[in-house]
Amino acid sequence: MKITSKKNISLERDYGAQIMQIILSTKIISLCQTKKRHSTHSIIM
C-alpha cells in the first residue's frame, strides 16, 4: 500500500510539472506572437 501511494504522489508531481511547462510554453509563445504583431505594426506605421 505504501509503495503504491508513493508512486501515485510522484506521478501527480510529474503531471503537475508537465502542466506547468505546457502553460509556461504557451504563454511564452503567445508573448512572442504579440511582440511580432507589435513589431510588424511599427514597421507598417
Structure confidence at residue 45 (pLDDT): 53
Judge if pTM exceeds 0.75: no
Structure confidence at residue 44 (pLDDT): 59
Q: What is the pLDDT of residues 1-45, one digit of tens each?
A: 566 677 777 878 888 899 999 999 999 888 888 877 766 666 655
Structure confidence at residue 23 (pLDDT): 93
Structure confidence at residue 2 (pLDDT): 64
Nearest-angstrom CA–CA distance, 14 and 5: 14
Rg (alpha carbons) of the chain, rounded to whole number: 20
Closest CA to 15 of 5, 3, 7: 7
